[in-house]
Chains A and B, each alone.
Chain A
């Protein structure tokens, strides 16, 4: 698992610890964190980060990364990307595009035929977008998330973030000058977002709601009724929605439910998706955003100055992926599904409660009852040190992840079996 540049992960993880900014004590959610960070950076540096950068706490994943990289017996269940390689058709299309000398920029919004292919592809989720005016190809879904925040969040705006959730939203909101508002989802609800949780958190007063289903780190999906209820809440309180659907192709117990397909939701939703998870193309960095023309225009304005266009080579690969790789995607999905069933069964046999993960490639068991002081971070550290199994503590995904660990099953069954055997030994 070497070969990658640890600094890269560092850069990626920085600011990733607590997406809501609320999990590590309220002191870090206000300006106080900025001066604290400044002092600790050491004097003498001309570069003290801007307040909105300093206000984002450092990554909680980084220390695990370092311990894990320094041992050679580690089985990592901490990887947030597919263990498959991108389908050959996609890779060869990338190579061919290089051989043909396709090394220029593309249109800001992405190659027209790729946008058409994307618009056609998402019809399977009941989504319908005009490839000319309502689709924007981005450098990974990550860029699309950032663009959405920069395009629609005014300084002081409140952006509601379910917690636990993916690490980038909180920092992204802060970089855009907004205020993250954590909305707790619960193990008991299968980590689905409920209108009760939205009301309780005061989301009726918020400006934007971020949805990430299927969810990282819980693997939760929303069923049709749950999504209807959230959509009704958004309409009632006039919320704008950023729906990160990067795991849409990886659902196991039913069709992917998109909030944007609910009545009255298309006009207030930006849907984000990409090639990384569905096609195992993380390193090619290609994603897309879809929404009403005005939304895509605004995001394109930021994109055209910040990025110009998404990587051309990757766009050629993506086009081939959509055209020719459905079988591979289905094969990968079926294999994830078997691993998912295996991991969930084993965790339950070991007495760790886990909500049925309907999508993505994560299980999110509760370890609070078996960890010292119920502390997920301590549990994960001890598990890594004692047994060489790396899993990410739930707190890395916000306060709502306390007492849980994220187990990624984007790892071969042999390793999963060995990891579960080690976990069993650790628990006994």
Chain B
């Protein structure tokens, strides 16, 4: 990947709402080229989406999140991808990853109540034939998500003008 494309991705990871003009300024590409690269990156599957990072505790909206550990037992007809596809189908699933270690899948789930989340686990995950065990950990507090800190503090203690 060339340096300009890398900068383009860095800029979008920082702020997916950057205007094309500001992306151009930060990368040294012209605006038409920025649009072109974005289209290419989207087409190739490198850029999968542009979403917001929301602190649901700060709005009047019940939101419960959990990390669910899932153990599976595979057979000739079923592989990890098959199980993952099934689990990923649910809109309650925010992210789904295959892990090394004591369990196989880590599933980030959210819903509007604990009942929603446990319902998802008991009705959509546990009954799958390959699933042997689930452990659900409810999120108690979020401090940082996707690089964005949820604790507001201005910790810039630099002097405002220095040589």
A residues with CB within 8 A of B: 1-4, 6, 8-9, 12-13, 16, 61, 64-65, 68-69, 74, 76, 78-81, 83, 85, 166-168, 216, 334-335, 337-339, 341-342, 345-346, 390, 392, 396, 413, 417
- B residues 147-163 in Cβ contact with A at 8 Å: 155-163
Binds A, one of B24-32, B71-79, B87-95, B118-126: B24-32
Interface 9-mer from B3-11, B38-46, B105-113, B133-141: B3-11
Please give me the residue from chain B that is nearest to A62 by CB atom. B161
Cβ-defined partner of A68 (8 Å) among B24, B27, B160: B160
Could you tell me if A390 and B10 are in contact, using CB atoms closer than 8 angstroms?
no
In the complex, B36 has a CB within 8 A of chain A: no
Q: How far is the CA of A78 from the CA of B160 in the complex (A)?
A: 6
Contact B157 A342 (CB under 8 A): no
In the complex, the answer to whether B156 meets A1 with C-beta atoms within 8 Å is yes
B22 within 8 A of A: yes
**CB closest residue in chain B, given A410:** B158
Min Cβ gap A360→B in Å is: 13
Top 6 closest pairs, chain A to chain B, by CB: A78-B161, A345-B25, A3-B157, A65-B161, A338-B26, A76-B160
Question: Among B6, B155, B156, which residue has the most Cβ atoms of chain A within 10 A?
Answer: B156
Collect the chain A residues with CB atoms within 8 Å of residue B157's CB: 1-4
The chain B residue with its CB closest to the CB of A334 is: B10
Contact in complex: B161, A68 (CB < 8 Å): yes
Known: A6-B159, A168-B163. 10 other contacts (CB 8 A): A1-B159, A64-B161, A69-B160, A78-B162, A79-B158, A80-B163, A83-B156, A334-B6, A338-B7, A413-B26
A-B contact list, 22 entries, CB within 8 Å: A1-B158, A1-B160, A9-B161, A16-B163, A65-B160, A65-B161, A76-B161, A78-B162, A80-B163, A85-B155, A167-B163, A216-B163, A334-B6, A334-B10, A337-B7, A338-B7, A338-B11, A341-B28, A342-B25, A345-B24, A345-B25, A417-B22
Number of A-B pairs, beta carbon distance below 8 Å: 85
Q: Which residues of B contact A342 (CB under 8 A)?
A: 22, 25-26
Question: In whole Å, how far is A416's beta carbon from the nearest beta carbon of chain B?
Answer: 10
A2, A167, A339 pick with most chain B CB within 10 angstroms: A2
Which of chain B's residues have a CB closer than 8 A to the CB of A1? 156-160
Q: Which chain A residue has the least Cβ–Cβ distance from B163? A: A167
Given contacts A341-B26, A413-B15, contact A9 B7 (CB under 8 A): no
Residue of chain B at shortest CB distance from A5: B159
Cross-interface CB contact of A13 among B14, B22, B158, B163, cutoff 8 Å = B163
A413 in contact with B14 (CB, 8 Å): yes
Query: Are B158 and A83 closer than 8 Å at their CB atoms?
Result: yes
Q: Which of A2, A12, A341, A346 has the most CB of B within 10 A?
A: A341
A68–B158 alpha-carbon span in the complex (Å): 12
B14 cross-chain contacts in A, Cβ below 8 A = 413
Question: A74 to B22, alpha carbons, bound, how many Å?
Answer: 23
CA distance A337 to B156 in the complex (A): 21
Interfacial chain A residues near B22, Cβ < 8 Å? 342, 417
Rounded to whole angstroms, the CA-CA distance of A80 and B160 in the bound complex is: 9
B10 touches A79 (CB 8 A): no
A74 CA to B7 CA, complexed, in Å: 29
How far, in whole Å, are A110 and B159 apart by their CA atoms in the complex? 29
Closest Cβ of chain B to A317, distance in Å, is 18
Complex: how many Å from CA A383 to CA B65? 48
- Residues of B near A8 (CB, < 8 A) are 159
A61 near B162 (CB under 8 angstroms)? yes
- Separation in Å of the B143 CB from the closest CB of chain A? 15
Residues of A within 8 A of B162 (CB): 9, 12-13, 61, 65, 78-81
Contacts of B25 in A (CB 8 A): 341-342, 345-346
Inter-chain CA distance A8–B163, complex, in Å, is 13
Residues on A with C-beta less than 8 A from B15 are 413
Asked if residues B161 and A4 are in contact (CB atoms below 8 Å), the reply is: no
Inter-chain contacts of B163 with A (CB < 8 A): 12-13, 16, 61, 80, 166-168, 216, 392, 396
B161, A79: Cβ atoms closer than 8 Å: yes
A341 touches B161 (CB 8 A): no
A337 vs B27: C-alpha distance when bound (angstroms): 9
A76 vs B14: C-alpha distance when bound (angstroms): 21
Smallest CB gap from B24: residue in A: A345
Nearest residue, chain B, Cβ from A345: B25
Nearest A residue to B4, CB-CB: A341
Inter-chain contact B160/A74, CB cutoff 8 Å? yes
The verdict on A390 contacting B161 (CB below 8 Å), with A338-B27, A342-B25 known, is: yes
Q: A13 to chain B: which residues have CB within 8 Å? A: 162-163
- Cβ of B11: which chain A residues have Cβ within 8 Å of it? 338
Instruction: Please name all residues of chain A whose beta carbon is closer than 8 Å to the beta carbon of B6 when the two chains form the complex.
Output: 334
Which B-chain residue is minimally distant from A69 (CB atoms)?
B160
